[in-house]
Structure 1
Amino acid sequence: MAPEFLMDKVKGVITGLALELTNLLLEKWQACIEAQGNEKAEIRVDNDLWSISADVISKACFGSSCIKGMEIFSKLRTLQKAKSSKGMFFGIPTYRKRTNVKSLEKEIDLLIWEVVCERKCELETTLLLKEDLLQRILEESMDRFVSEDERKCFVVDNCKDIYFAGHESASVAASWCLMLLALYPQWQMYIRDEVYEACPNGSLYLDSLSKLKSATMVIQEALRLFPPTTFVSREALERTQIGHIVVPKGVCMRTLIPKLHRNPDIWGHDAHKFRLERFINGVCNTPHAYIPFGVGSRSCIGQNFAMAQLKVIISLITCKFNFSLSPNYQHAPAYGMIVLPGHGVNILIQKIQQK
């Protein structure tokens, strides 16, 4: 699947879908301002950003319809919340919780398989191959397995991983970015100036993304403070010693990413604060101290996709609106499988005059 996420291919997809969908979102927010009859409007941004990210990954990687894609994402979000609950994540789940999770998983598997069957029928009718992620997964299943059940399991599991990881991390990260930019509005100006300089005619192009340094630093610092996943897990394949700790063979170890990313021994006494200067010369030089997308051979193959999408969304929103935190915003990070804004992200937006 990795070739589908190479930067050249990712940027091509992003400049199309992400630009189109983000511009539609900006029009929606502008209509909210006009409907409220004020210069400002209050928006709960996390819901809208979730919809954009879901639509991008659904169309870019699977070519599925918006309605079918949103149904899958909605059930995946419910499943994620169920699995992140206290009983499922840290304790012993009740029978009812286990039953609900299994039922959701079956519904999601069925929906994904319907998308796959639609693609198979389309191929049989048109005889045209689509060069997307779903096509690669289908081809790999044919090469790797003989049994139809094994093929189905392989396809559904891989699609489920991409559906979940491909949109949830990007949408949550975008929500945290806007929250932090609303809290530190001076950085909105820096992003805006860079976009105007990189795109004098007001249009964001493929080659412009690498020039958006301030937007990149905002995203990197947001991913440090609120990483898209809470831990990485590794099994000791043999007896191992880490410092003064002896780890027996077969023991599973989890590294808590939020704790690592806020370690004052690495990041300084202000490790809990939003400070972009940490990334002015790139990412942290301490090995494995900054791992928002995991680490090593198991790191997320979709990180280029996520970063490019985030740059487009953050840059376009910042160039269109001034925004600040709403008095209704309640800061309550929810640490489960990912770090969610527990009560959403409410901001006040105000349209600005374009240069």
Structure 2
Amino acid sequence: MEVFFSSQQWLALIPPVILCILLFFYVYIILWLRPERLRQKLRSQGVRGPKPSFLFGNIPEMRRIQQLAKSAHEQEAGSADMFSSNYVATLFPYFLHWSRVYGSIYLYSTGSIQVLNVTDSNMVKELANCKSLDFGKPCYLQKERGALLGMGILTSNGDLWVHQRKVIAPELFMERVKGMMNLMMEAAMSMLNSWKNEVEDRGGSAEIVVDEFLRTFSADVISRACFGSSFSEGKEIFIKIRQLQTTMAKQSLLIGVPGSRYLPTRSNREIWNLDSSIRTLILNISKKYEHVSSTLVNNDLLHAIIQGSKDGPLHSCTPEDFIVDNCKNIYFAGHETTSTTAAWCLMLLASHHEWQSRARVEFLDICQGKPLDFDILRKLKMLTMVIQETLRLYPPASFVVREALNDMKLGGIDIPKGTNIWIPIAMAHRDPSVWGPSADKFDPDRFANGIAGACKPPHMYMPFGVGVRTCAGQNLAMVELKVVLSLLLSKFEFKLSPNYVHCPAFRLTIEPGKGVPLIFREL
């Protein structure tokens, strides 16, 4: 049977045919040909890596390796020292596998994103010394992590980032942080007094899961120090940012898969709703703040951000976006990373009692009953070493991430525009060639002569990042950690609960997967 089409029917078919052709060219050129040309430029220079699949890159292989590692870990559970185990093998086993096969520099893909994975010391050094604005944060962060980070200081590039750094960094210089010590001590004492009451109510010894307490403490500090409000006022923001962080972490392997963030999946809908709620809450606080501050002299971080939104190169974002995105960056980075590090620190001190005793004795010897002040903090060498070793073993950020915003040369390799460069921090921090055969063991003594004495070369220690993009809040984080840990050591002895399960989890930061329950006894 023959089928005939009229001229009108043929004309009706033209638009969908053209659409299909354009879609084909988009898929072929943007999602395959352009990434393949980038890969070819790197391969021609001797850079190797696993072969990517169409659309998904190496995601299927990453999932397969992760599943095999999970099965192997379950079979070996209980056979090894949990504190000496390298969690990279369970969280990111594909990186370990590929580094064994391809070396310290290799190329892989997640969807349309091409990543040059680097643990080579010389290339890390060049990256750390690179000051070019052509080398910035990956563009995908603003898209894939936009709900959490937007175009704030953690993700922006060029003139916008320079402006944000000038606005925010001075508010976190050590001189300003010194002035925040009293409110840190107030927040810490409020938490410790609640623990003291718990211990007394339970007859001198109590099991406390510390994670949420530490999050509340850290959130209270960042709220009061930087935004002029107490934790209760910003509590809803912190809760929603935590929910957003957890939801986005579940999607990590889908980063770079074309269109995945637009699909109305359950997690995407949750992300969109949380993003909208957080934006409204932050703008309400900033408007309230502006109204109150018109009659007061203010010099905190929120004031600086609001002023920064009124001047400077904001071509790529609105003043409202400037305020919201930078507040989200500081709410997230300023409290989540510090509280997570404090939890790991307590876990390690609880399981290495000799270091708990040494840090406590040092503090009591230096303090001698005097109120805690900045001068005492400066002298706490043992505690500083413990914190540095904790940050080595459990750095809160998992990767240093950069993108070549234009063609450039790095480590003797011509890097094409659009190439992402990732340094897996945990792998660099546990590399036996850098840290010696005890790289996986907790040993604060390695920092007895500072970072340069612990690590050769010192640029391979990067808990706060590297180069010009080093974390602006590291002074605040270190002082906050010293305050809460020194006060805690002066009031309690503590050990790990039998209920503790060691399972580091990746939730955009590396955190204790099932919490840190400790048994406290008042001194």
TM-score range, shorter chain: over 0.9
Residue 480 of structure 2: aligned partner: 309
Change (3 A) 1:174 1:87: closer
Work out whether 1:257 is the aligned partner of 2:425: yes
Matched residue type, 1:156 = V
Q: Which has the higher contact order (CA 8 A, sep 6+)?
A: 1
Alpha-carbon distance change, 201 to 241 in structure 1, aligned in 2, over 3 angstroms = closer
Is 2:279 aligned against 1:113?
no
Say if 2:214 is the partner of 1:46.
Answer: no
Bigger Cα Rg:
2
**Distance in 2 between residues matched to 1:294 and 1:146, nearest whole Å:** 25
Do residues 188 (structure 1) and 356 (structure 2) align? yes
Q: How does 1:206-355 map to 2 (within 5 A)?
A: 206-236=374-404, 237-240=406-409, 242=411, 247-283=415-451, 284-352=455-523
Following TM superposition, by how much is the alpha carbon of 1:317 offset from its aligned partner in structure 2, in angstroms? 0.7
Distance of 1:197 and 1:133 partners within structure 2? 36
Partner of 1:61: 226
Residue in 2 that maps onto 1:8: 175
Shift of 1:3: 1.3
Matched, 1:104 2:274: yes
- 3-state SS, counterpart of residue 143 of structure 1: coil
Identical residues among aligned pairs (%): 45
* Pair 1:27-2:196 in alignment: no
The alignment's TM-score, normalised by the length of structure 1, stands at: 0.93
1:132 aligns with 2:300: yes
Q: Hey, what's the Cα distance between the residues in 2 that align with 1:155 and 1:163? A: 12
Looking at structure 2, the residues matched to 145 and 155 of structure 1 have their Cα atoms a distance apart, in angstroms, of 14
How far apart, CA to CA, are the structure 2 residues paired with 1:40 and 1:299?
41
Partner of 2:521: helix, strand, or coil?
strand
Contact 1:224–1:261 (Cα < 8 Å) also in 2: yes
Residue 13 of structure 1: CA displacement? 0.3
Aligned partner of 1:188: which letter? Q
What is the CA distance between 1:329 and its match in structure 2? Answer: 0.4
Deviations 1:92-121 (A, max 9, x none): 556222221121111111111111011011
C-alpha separation between the residues in 2 aligned to 1:207 and 1:179?
27
| Aligned-partner SS, 2:274 | helix
CA distance in 1, matches of 2:426, 2:249: 16
Query: 129, 144, 165: which one pairs with 2:333?
Result: 165
**For residues 129 and 323 of structure 1, what CA distance do their matches in structure 2 show?**
44
Q: Distance in 1 between matches of 2:361 and 2:293?
A: 47
- Asked if 1:154 is matched to 2:357, the reply is no
Across the aligned residues of Structure 1 and Structure 2, the Cα RMSD in angstroms comes to: 1.8
Please give the alpha-carbon distance, in whole angstroms, between the structure 1 residues aligned to 2:438 and 2:456.
18
Equivalent AA in structure 1 for residue 504 of structure 2:
P
Question: Is residue 82–residue 88 contact of structure 1 (8 Å, CA) maintained in 2?
Answer: no
Quote the Cα distance in structure 1 between the aligned partners of 2:249 and 2:296.
41
Q: 3-state DSSP class of the match of 1:240? A: strand
Tell me by how many angstroms 1:239 deviates. Answer: 4.3
TM-score between both structures, scaled by the size of structure 2: 0.64
Q: How many residues align?
A: 346
Question: Which consecutive unaligned segments of at least 5 residues does structure 2 have?
Answer: 1-167
The Cα of 1:87 is off from its aligned counterpart by 5.2
Contact 2:435 2:456 in 1 (8 A): no
What is the CA distance between 1:90 and its match in structure 2?
A: 5.2
- The superposition leaves residues 104-144 of structure 1 with CA deviations (integer Å, 9 ceiling, x where unpaired) of 111111111111011011023xx212110011111111122
| Partner AA of 2:311 in structure 1 | D
Looking at structure 1, the residues matched to 507 and 194 of structure 2 have their Cα atoms a distance apart, in angstroms, of 31
Compute the displacement of 1:275 (Å): 0.5
How far apart, CA to CA, are the structure 2 residues paired with 1:256 and 1:234? 12
What runs of 5+ residues in structure 1 fail to find an aligned partner? Answer: none
- Give the CA deviation at 1:241: 5.1
CA contact (8 A) 1:331 1:341 kept: yes
> Does the 8 A contact of 1:238 with 1:248 survive in 2?
yes
Deviations 1:28-83 (A, max 9, x none): 1111112222x311010111011000000001100124323111111111111111
8 Å CA contact 2:216, 2:231 repeated in 1: no
